[in-house]
Amino acid sequence: MVEVSAPIKQDGGGPATLYLKGPSGCDDIADSKTANRTEQKFVDGEMNIGYWNMEGLATSGKLKMVTWQMKRHGVDVLVIQETYLRGTKRFRIENGKMDVILSGATGESYKNNPGQRYAAGVGLVLSDRAPRALIGYEAASDRALTAQFRIKSRKLTIICIYITQSVLTVEVRREMWDLVDAELEKSRGGQLLLFGDMNARLWSRQPGEEDVIGRHMLQTRDLREGEDDDGDLNRVMLIQTLRSQDLFLANTAFQQRPSHTVTFRDLQV
């Protein structure tokens, strides 16, 4: 079994750290988008995984900053969202020492809202040693990317999800959650880690949610008498997905600084 010695942060504040124990030694990577390739083993049995909402990756110097932060914190796999980049591609940076895998909109998928800024795109940035553990990856959409790694003779699946915002129609949001369920169903077996911006307003844990949500919440807003939280479809679908897939919202299991529990902007800046 893959051993987890630190919790996962879902959003904000810097990279999450997850330690995966496994044997030393590795094989050469099979450079393919399919997962049906020779099993790989991680080079020295320890992998650090982080998550970062980029708010655009094309800005001058942004990718350089990402690689610097990864090296500074010893991150092997960085899950990124809101790249704002179209197309699905894999390329190398840092003189061929690091890999970038991007899943962005293609064809008609980003023409549904003409005149609006494209604000999706997900991906992974891999350290110099992480590609040697990569089995393969699948770019499901510009909001979903799945990658599989081989750790200690077990498969580790990382799914990156960027849920559609609540301002979009119910139909669009339900389609997105259907895609999440489909990706999770395909990823059964081995260790599963789901990272993402769920665009769900949790506020606080409600009675009966102890099985999927921890006690460390923002808790700045209490429900008023006769009010419920079901008005936020993304919150409802998130809870349903956690329960149906036997998952737990890991970043609510430990205390964080308040600034790391929500996404906000200082309007005075």
What average pLDDT does the structure give for the chain? 74
- CATH 3.60.10 for domain 1-199: yes
Structure tokens that stand for 58 in this block = 């094309």
How far is CA 69 from each of CA 13, 86, 124, 251, rounded to the nearest angstrom? 12, 24, 14, 21
The structural domains of the chain, with segments of one domain joined by +, span 1-199, 201-262
Taking a C-beta distance cutoff of 8 angstroms, is the pair 138, 146 a contact?
yes
Is the pLDDT at 26 greater than 90? The verdict is no
Q: Which residue has the tokens 């807003």?
A: 221
Name the band, by pLDDT with cuts 50, 70 and 90, for residue 45: low
Cα within 13 Å of Cα(258), Cβ side:
4
In single-letter form, the type of residue at position 56 comes to G
pLDDT of res. 116? 53
Dist. CA 134–CA 126, nearest whole Å: 9
Q: How confident is the model at residue 180 (pLDDT cuts 50, 70, 90)?
A: very high
Token pair, residue 25, equals: 């030694």
Query: What is the mean predicted confidence (pLDDT) over 231-251?
Result: 87
**Residues of the chain with pLDDT > 90: what percent?**
30
pLDDT of residue 77: 95
Q: Which of 46, 48, 83 is nearest to 69 (CA)?
A: 48
Contact between 64 and 84 under an 8 Å Cβ cutoff? The reply is: no
pLDDT at 20: 27
Q: Tens of pLDDT along 81-108?
A: 999 988 899 999 988 889 999 999 876 5
Q: What is the pLDDT of residue 267?
A: 54
Chain CA centroid to CA 37, Å: 23
pLDDT score, position 39: 35
**pLDDT(230) > 70:** no
Model confidence pLDDT, tens digit, residues 217-227: 776 555 444 44
Predicted TM-score (pTM) of the model is 0.74
Question: What's residue 264's pLDDT?
Answer: 59
Q: What confidence tens digit (pLDDT) does each residue in 101-144 have?
A: 999 987 655 555 544 567 789 999 999 989 989 999 999 999 99
What is the band of 262 on the pLDDT scale with cuts at 50, 70, 90? Answer: low
